[in-house]
Structure 1
Amino acid sequence: MGKLTTHVLDTYTGRPAAGIRVELHEVSDAGPVPIVERTTGDDGRCTGPLIEGVRFRKGRYSLTFHVGEYFRARGVSLPDPAFLENVVVPFGIATPDENYHVPLIVTPWSYSVYRGS
């Protein structure tokens, strides 16, 4: 069985993004279903997998990274409204026996995401 992990790098400061709130939702025809909410640690990673085992199954998901509150908490002056308040990453799990790692690289004005392993 595979697992889903994530981490966040803050390229505005050049450091791992500690303290970003991350939400995982399963996306169904009826709408998003919350699965877990975590906060990144000092290394920018959530402790342990967001989902694994029998709960890690084929389907559509989304990760929401609360980047606006993160940058404000670090004293970054953001406009109102912020250019990026939340980064929402929709993705699919096609092969649940593989590991899925979804890293986010972020500044107050840009982001990049990819599938790692």
Structure 2
Amino acid sequence: MSAYTEQAPARAEVDAFSGVTVLQFGTNWCGFCNAAEPHIAQALQEFRVTHPELRHFKVEDGPGRPLGRSFKVKLWPTVIFIKDGAERARVVRPDSAEAVTDAARQLDLP
């Protein structure tokens, strides 16, 4: 299980990405984040089988963190699915891998 990191792309970079990007906002000490981590990891592992080009960033969030604020993140974890720079889906505090998979399906990928 990888840790959330303070290193995050700038919003302009995210908006310019082509393909699929997943932004996962939270903190390493967040109980909700730790509880959701196995569900998120399972869903993304399955998704990577058919979409190995997937970019995934685990971004440490908090007051004054510009990327999270630009996406109006309020609760952790928040997982945002982006296709070609545009948000297509998000899931907040997922309690199952299926919740994450359902959000990923909104990307309309082959």
Query: Which has more radius of gyration?
Result: 1
Name the structure with the higher helix share. 2
Highest RCO, 1 vs 2 (Cα 8 Å, sep ≥ 6): 2
Same fold flag (TM > 0.5): no
TM-score, L = length of structure 2? 0.31
Instruction: Give the TM-score normalised by the residue count of structure 1.
Output: 0.30
Q: Which structure has greater strand proportion? A: 1
